[in-house]
Structure formats: C-alpha cells, structure tokens
Amino acid sequence: MTALAFVLPTLLYLLALSVYPLFYAGWQSLNLSNLFNPTVTHFIGLRNYTDLFEEDFFWISVKTTLVWTIVVVSVELVLGLALALLLDRKLRGVGLLRSLIIIPVFISPIGMGLTWRFIYEPVGGLGNWLLGSVGLGESRWISSTETALPSIMIADIWQWTPFVALILLAGIQSISPEILEAARLDRVRGPIYVFRIVLPLIWPVLLVVALIRLVDSIRTFDLVYIMTRGGPGSSTLVASVYDFTIFQAGNLGKMAALGFLLLLLINALVVVFLRALSRQERRTRRAARV
Amino acid sequence: MRSPLRRTWNVLAVFVVATWLFPVYWVVMTSLKADRDINTATPKFVFDPTVNNYQEIFERFQFGKVLINSFVIVSVATAITITLALLAAYSLARMRLRGANALALVILSFRFMPGVVVVLPYYLTFSELRLTDSYTGMVLVYVAFGLPFAVWLLRGFLLDLPQDIDEAARLDGLGRLAILRRIVLPLAAPGVAVTAIFTFVFNWNEYLFALILTDARALTVPVQISKMIDAYSVLWGNLSAAVVLQLIPMVIVVFLLQRHIVRGLALGAVK
C-alpha cells in the first residue's frame, strides 16, 4: 500500500499536467478555434486533419522532417561510434577529454544555433574563411535554399554526436574483459573487431540511443527556429516549426491536429523499437541458457 | 611494436576533441571582442580583450533580471521534480509494487511527447487561470516536463544499490520514509546529484514553453537571448556574451561531477 502511496504524487501530477493536456489537445484538434477570437469555437470533426492533408506546406514539412531525421541520426550514430572507439583507450587524461567533449550537449540549442549563425555569416564568418583558406569558393550557408538544411544539420550533428559517443562508450566499456582478451589473443583487430565483436555486443545500447535521437529529431524545434525560422522559403520547415507558425497565425485547432500527427508518428516509432529491443533481450536470454 | 600506432591514435583523439570544441572557443573569444574586432572582413584571432559586452547585456537587455528569473524557476522546479521522482523511483525500484516495470515505462513514455502538442492546452488553461508569464506557471510546466526522465534515471540508480540494506533497516524498525531519507538517500547521493543536474540543464535550456508562456515578468534566459536578435540588428558580441553566461554554470557542473555525469548518461540509456 505504501508502495502505491509513493508513486501516487508523480502519477497524479502527470495525470493533471500531461494526460489531461493531451486530451485537451485532442479535443482542440477536432474543433475550429482561433487564438484571436476565442469565443467562437465549434466542433468540426476531422476537418483540421483533412485540411492539413490538402496543404502543400504540410507535405513539405513532413518531407523536411523525415530527411532531417534520417540524415542527422544516421550521421550521429556513425560518427558517434567512431568517436566512442577513439575515446576508448587507456591514456592519461582521457577522462578530461571525455568531459570536454560532452560540453556541446549542455549548451542550449538557442545559444548553439546563434553561435553557428555567427560562423555562417557571409562576410567575416569563420565558415567562409575556412572554405577560402582551403581554396574552395564561398557558401551562402543558411541564406540559400540549397544549403540551409545541411548547414543546420551540421550544427545538430556537432551538438549530439558527443552524446551518442559517450553512451556507446559506456556500452563498450561494459563488454566483459574476457571477451576482449580473447579477441586480443586471436588478433582480431580493425573492422572485424568493430563489426563482429563490438557492434553485436552493444546492439541494445545502440538501439536505445538511436530511439532517443530519432524522437528528439522528429520533434526538433529550437535549433531550426533560431537559425532560419523554417526558411529561406520553406527549405528548412520541419514539422514543429511549421506547427508554431500555425499557432502564430492563430489557428489553434489545426495546430493541435499537426501536433497530434507528430505524436502518433513518435508513438509508432517507440513501439517498433521496444519490440526490437525485447526480441533482442529474449534472444540474449536464450543464448545465455544454451 | 604497436606503441607508435597507439601514439598516433592518442594524438588523433586529442586533436578531434580540440577541433570539436572550436565553436565553443570561438563564442568565448567573440564575447571578449570589441565590435571593431568582430565586424571584420576576415576573422580576427588576435585582439585586445574587453568585458564591455558583458556589461552591456546587463545594462541594455536586463540580463540580471532574466538570469534571476531563470535561476529561481529552474531551481524550484528541479527541487520539486527530484522530491516527487525520488519517492516514485524508490517505490518502483525497491518496494513490492505489482507491475512496477510496466509503470516505469509508462512514466518514461511522457518524455517522448512533442512540446507542440501540450503547449497549446497549457497556454489556454494558463490564460484562464492567470498563470501565463508567472513563476508558478513555469514551475508547474517544468516539473511535468522533467519528471518522467528523472523518475527513470533515479530508478536506475536505486536498482543498483543492494536490496538487503532495506530489509536490515526494516528489521531495526525503521519506516519506509525513514529508510529512504536516512539510508538510501546518502548511498544514492551521486545518482540524485546527476539526476538533479540533468533536470536543471533541460529546464535551463528549454525554449518552446518559455517562448509561448512568458512575456515580460517571467522571461527566461533562452527567450531573452532569442529576443536580442529580433529587436535590434544582430550584435554578435553581446549575443556571444549572453551565450557564454548561460553556458558557464553548466560547464562548472560538468567538471565538478564529470565521472558521475557520464555514468548517468549511460544509465539513462542502458537500464
């Protein structure tokens, strides 16, 4: 009984400030409701959703979000694994390196986004100066529709690769020393070591970190908003930023509808990943029994 | 035989970390530059440092007030979050609660909620209750925002402690709350500290809720920073100083608790 009493405050809190708002948002998404004229609210069923499906901007934002998520997460996983392997060594001061590399994770996306905007300044910015000094032409970075999305991706990858790396590193370091010793005696090195020994053993950790990054990338807002507001044109219009512009336009019902679609997408992803994880766990357990 | 190869890798590791941190170095340098050293045709690496930018953001952008706002809101929210989370995590990890693992997952799942979904109900409800642009409102939101992950993380740390200490304390006649406070809490102190830090950092950096739910009185640091580019031409020196001020507390914390933080990060993902 006490056990329940201890969780109850948390459950009630979440019920009031997370579950209730969710239902409220769900109800809003079925209504026509305007920020600037709150007295006129009426039920319109799924109209907000069907309206969204007929909009070009909606499909642009879906496409941008998917491209953004896929590119950013896969690059972060690959670079993160490389960085983890690089930092997995017995070197004096490696602890210092590990705590230095984590600093980007703790910077606010707002501060980070501005730092990168400054780097991308067309005149006097570090980016063009670097390109110039290796003999390449200048780029317009976030002010051209072609380079804006990749430019923001660079900033995101810069911030989150260390996060992925440190989690994978913890996974690598929890591999039993006997296995690593056996690999060393068998002279397993290089790619075979990485792909045949390390990767299979840290697979569950990799799945979890991939899930965390996927979810956070799908709902990404701060970084894109502070760097481009979704522009130029609609070249960086990810779903959350588009949803915010709908809010600014006062169309609350439609805002809630798009938010809900995002929520559904994220839920689907989480379910797929949890399935994969539990399958993995069963397999490991079966292997352990044999 | 393999020592030169190993040394190459070591040098590479140091080099990669140094390069990675260059943008941080750059924003710190920019914050110490006078405008004439910032608006140049090519980036300037040697210059006379000045603290003008720091003075200016306090004078022009009320940075003192905004820092206090953020600090009060985030500290109170973190304290409440940790208290609630500690109770819940203790129950989920160390008491015989049926369905504890499933319940832990349900609580965690709220971490995945996109902000744009719940910010609208908050906005509408808070307007009715006159909670927009108030400390209370922001604390309420940030506790809800941080609670799921804090419970998950603390549960991981508490699962790591040996189970029989509770039993021993119970035989000595201690109640659950006393066990939690006098025995479990001291043992789990590093875990609690890490959880508190993560909660603090998430809230300290949070933008979307603060952008929509605050206006003047309860303005937080990230919102004020973003407003610095809306209202004026971009003053990179001032902005950089603001970014650095926002970052400094985080860096101090990372260095004080470096080992525990890496472990906390890993725990959040592995357990």
Compute the nearest-CA separation of B14 from chain A (Å). Answer: 7
How confident is the model over A17-42, as a mean pLDDT?
85
Reported as a single tens digit per residue, the pLDDT across B55-104 is 888 988 888 999 999 999 999 999 999 999 999 999 898 887 888 888 88
Query: CB distance from A102 to chain B under 8 Å?
Result: yes
**pLDDT(B2) > 60:** no
Nearest-5° Cα angle at A231, A227 to A234: 145
Q: How high is the pLDDT of residue B231?
A: 53
User: Which candidate from B116, B239, B263 shows the least CB-CB separation from A240?
Assistant: B116
Q: What pLDDT score was predicted for residue B198?
A: 85
pLDDT band at B263 (very low <50, low <70, confident <90, very high): low
Contact of B144 with chain A, judged by CB distance below 8 Å, is answered with: yes
CB contact under 8 A, A10 and B87: yes
- Higher-pLDDT residue of A197 and A14 is A14
A40 C-beta neighbours (distance < 10 Å), count: 8
To test the contact with chain B by mutation, choose from A22, A107, A272 the residue with the greatest count of B C-beta atoms within 10 A, namely A107
Confidence of residue B162 (pLDDT cuts 50, 70, 90): confident
Q: Which of A240-249, A256-265, A272-281 has the lowest mean pLDDT?
A: A272-281
Can you tell me whether residue B49 is helix, strand or coil? coil
Q: Which of B24, B88, B143 sits opposite A6 (nearest CB)?
A: B88
Q: Please say if the pLDDT value at position B227 is more than 50.
A: yes
Structure confidence at residue B269 (pLDDT): 54
Q: What is the mean pLDDT of residues B3-10?
A: 78
- Per the model's pLDDT, the better-predicted residue between B10 and B89 turns out to be B89
Tell me if the pTM is above 0.80. yes
A199 touches chain B (CB under 8 A): no
**Mean pLDDT score, B5-18:** 85
Q: Looking at beta carbons, which residues of chain B come within 8 Å of A84?
A: none
Query: Within 10 A of B15 (CB to CB), how many other CB atoms are there?
Result: 11
pLDDT, average across residues A32-56: 84
From B24, B117, B143, residue closest to A103, measured CB to CB? B24
Of A182-196, B19-33, B72-86, the poorest mean pLDDT is in A182-196
Chain A residues with CB under 8 Å of B97 CB are 3-4, 7
pLDDT band at A202 (very low <50, low <70, confident <90, very high): confident
Please tell me the least confidently modeled range out of A192-201, A240-249, B241-250: A192-201
Best CA proximity match to A278, nearest among A213, A179, A211, A178: A211
Which among A108, A154, A217 is the top mutation candidate for probing chain B, defined by the most B β-carbons within 10 Å of its own β-carbon? Answer: A108
SS3 call for B177: helix
Quick one: tokens of B15?
Answer: 């080099």
The answer to whether residue B207 neighbours chain A at the CB level (below 8 Å) is yes
pLDDT above 90 for A244 = yes
pLDDT tens, position by position, A124-171: 788 888 888 887 878 888 888 888 999 999 999 999 999 899 888 888
The predicted structure's pLDDT at residue A65: 94
Q: From the CA of A290, how many Å to the nearest CA of chain B?
A: 24
SS (H, E, C) A90-147: CCCCHHHHHHHHCHHHHCCHHHHHHHHHHHCCCCCCHHHHHHHHCCCCCCCHHHCCCC
What is the mean predicted confidence (pLDDT) over A247-265? 91
CB-based contact (8 Å) between B192 and chain A?
A: no
Q: CB distance A222–B10 less than 8 Å?
A: no
Instruction: Give how far Cα A83 sits from Cα of A50, A86, A169, B15, B143, Å.
Output: 45, 5, 9, 12, 34
Average pLDDT, integer, range A276-289: 75
Plot region of A229 (φ>0 → left; ψ -120 to 50 → alpha; else → beta):
left
Residue range A215-227: mean pLDDT, rounded: 93
Residue A256: the pLDDT is: 92
For residue range B175-194, what is the model confidence (pLDDT) as tens digits?
A: 888 888 888 888 888 888 88
Alpha-carbon distance B29 to B41, whole Å? 17
Residue A262 is predicted with a pLDDT of 92
Residues 68-87, chain A, touching B (beta carbon < 8 A): 83, 86-87
Mean pLDDT of B39-66: 84
Write out residues 124-183 of A within 8 Å (CB-CB) of B.
Answer: 124-126, 129, 158, 162-163, 166-167, 169-171, 174
A256 touches chain B (CB under 8 A): yes
Chain A hits for B96, Cβ within 8 Å: 3
Measure A247 CA to nearest chain B CA, in Å: 8
Query: Mean pLDDT score of chain B, rounded to an integer?
Result: 86
CA distance B86 to chain A (A): 9
pLDDT attached to residue B271: 47
Q: Is B26 on the interface with A (CB under 8 A)?
A: yes
**Is the pLDDT reported for residue B7 higher than 50?**
yes
Q: Write down the pLDDT at residue A290.
A: 55
Q: Is B124 on the interface with A (CB under 8 A)?
A: yes
B148 in contact with A at a CB cutoff of 8 Å? yes
- In this prediction, residue B222 has a pLDDT band, given cuts at 50, 70 and 90, of very high
Output the average pLDDT for chain A: 87
pLDDT exceeds 90 at position A223: yes
- Distance separating alpha carbons of residues A180 and A192, to the nearest angstrom: 13
pLDDT value for A12? 94
Residue among B195, B229, B200, B251 nearest B72 (CA):
B200
Higher local confidence (pLDDT), B76 or A199: B76
Where does the pLDDT of residue A34 fall: very low under 50, low under 70, confident under 90, or very high at 90 and above?
confident
Q: What percentage of chain B has pLDDT greater than the value 90? A: 33
Residue with the larger pLDDT of the pair A64 and A94 = A64
